[in-house]
Amino acid sequence: MKIEHLELRWVRLPLVTPFRTSFGTTYDRDTFLLRLVTSDGAEGWAECAAELDPLYSAEFLAGAEIVLRDQLVPRVVALGDRLSATGVKTALEPVTGHPMAKHVLETAILDAELKTADMSFGRYLGAVRDRVPAGVSVGIMDSHAELLDHVARYLEQGYRRIKLKIEPGWDVEPVRLVRERFGDDLLLQVDANAAYTLADARHLARLDPFDLLLIEQPLPEDDIRGHASLAEVVRTPVCLDESIASARDAATAIALGACAVINVKPARVGGYLEARRIHDVAEANGVPVWCGGMLETGIGRAPNVALAALPGFTMPGDTSASDRYFATDLTAPFVLEDGHLPVPTDPGIGVEVLPDVLSAITQSTTTIPV
């Protein structure tokens, strides 16, 4: 396989409701899409998960575009007709960091490769289910009443699990109210997005009585030892997100007792092949994993759903329906069915871009020389 054409398209989709976390509030999904055409005419698509500003991680969209154009694309183009998705990681290893930029390139190549092979993402990755349970992430609200209204609406829609974003000052009381209002049977977890320190351990232990599935990334991403210490203080299972950038990280965190659960975000770890390796390490150690989300459109959501169908993904992920975030998606919408989303079965990522929607939301288009 050889790349003949590569274009980068910046897009913006308004969110149906603002999404607030400890990092800030998001009103639109700003991202860029990578479209790749191979010498045999196969087309690959991928969506960059980086954000406009380096708040969630060190990466940001403008930087991802630069490193793609100047560093990553030349290295995969140099492979010529020896290009394959499995060779991308090795080709890009000299470039330190930038996993989200690497993810978008590897995913576009893998999409084209699997379309040529007439194989779906799910089949390639090792999916064992044809549908996956869907959870939903609920942002920080202006009031407790607003929070309860949102949770009630999502449960009415059929979501199987609720995740509440928390931060200092918005943690114990919101969780208490949701648990009391919706009962002990509700699958409930919280996500701190690294908003606390180990000094908050006793405070975080106040969440223990609410029987949460997990507390996600309570401490800074580089504080693996701190998470291990926290796990000795709180009964709620500790889940790592931003701390896990590779299968090696996962193995280290598990060995140190820093996590009992892992959130796998393919973009954060550099692609779906590394995400599968993390799944394999966790499964071998009896640690459950679930698939996180980055406000993806259908282009990014489709392969995430496929990944979530692997055997080790035993907890509902943030693979919500399209209408959780967008009035109109870039692909045919993912629709909740009995609390589940279907795993795409068509070749590649399994969804087609809607040209009229793409045209309407495109901000700019750039051809990357190959």
Say if CB 308 and CB 71 are below 8 A apart.
Answer: no
Residue 100 domain-assigned? yes
Strand ranges (DSSP E) for the chain? Answer: 3-21, 24-38, 43-47, 131-133, 135-138, 161-165, 188-191, 215-216, 238-240, 261-264, 289-291, 340-342, 362-367
Label residue 23 by pLDDT band (50, 70, 90). Answer: confident
Number of H helices, E strands in the chain: 13, 13
| Sequence-separated (6 or more) residues with CB below 8 Å from residue 355 | none
Query: Helices in 212-297 by DSSP H: which ranges?
Result: 224-231, 247-255, 272-284
Residue 347 domain-assigned? no
Do 188 and 336 fall into the same domain? yes
Phi, psi of 185 (to 5 degrees): -80, -15
pLDDT recorded at residue 19: 87
Do 269 and 363 fall into the same domain? no
Tens-place pLDDT, residues 323-335: 999 999 999 999 9
Q: What helix, strand, coil percent values describe the chain, rounded to 5?
A: 40, 25, 40
Say if CB 259 and CB 240 are below 8 A apart.
Answer: yes
Do 86 and 8 fall into the same domain? yes
pLDDT recorded at residue 18: 87
Do 10 and 151 fall into the same domain? no
- What residue has token string 């589940």? 340
Residue 349 domain-assigned? no
Calpha distance 141→210 (Å, rounded):
20
Do 186 and 231 fall into the same domain? yes
Which of 41, 50, 87, 86 lies closest to 68, judged by CA? Answer: 50
For residue 76, what are the domain limits? 3-118+354-367
Say if CB 186 and CB 179 are below 8 A apart.
Answer: yes
Calpha distance 180→175 (Å, rounded):
9
Calpha distance 13→330 (Å, rounded):
9
| Residue 165 annotated as catalytic | yes
Do 98 and 13 fall into the same domain? yes
Both tokens assigned to 244: 């896990």
Do 42 and 105 fall into the same domain? yes
Tens-place pLDDT, residues 190-230: 999 999 999 999 999 999 999 999 999 999 999 999 999 99
User: How many separate domains does the chain show?
Assistant: 2
Asked whether the CA dihedral 181, 185, 191, 196 is positive or negative, the reply is positive
Do 185 and 138 fall into the same domain? yes
Do 72 and 164 fall into the same domain? no
Residue 348 domain-assigned? no
pLDDT recorded at residue 53: 94
Do 141 and 242 fall into the same domain? yes
Measured from the Cβ of residue 149, the count of other Cβ atoms closer than 10 Å reads: 12
Tens-place pLDDT, residues 91-106: 999 999 999 999 999 9
CATH number of the domain to which 321 belongs? 3.20.20.120
The whole-number average pLDDT for the span 39-62 is 95
Calpha distance 119→111 (Å, rounded):
9
Residue 20 domain-assigned? yes
CATH number of the domain to which 78 belongs? 3.30.390.10
Do 161 and 113 fall into the same domain? no
pLDDT recorded at residue 284: 98
| Residue 115 annotated as catalytic | no
Say if CB 301 and CB 136 are below 8 A apart.
Answer: no
Do 141 and 231 fall into the same domain? yes
pLDDT recorded at residue 264: 98
Residue 97 domain-assigned? yes
The whole-number average pLDDT for the span 177-181 is 98
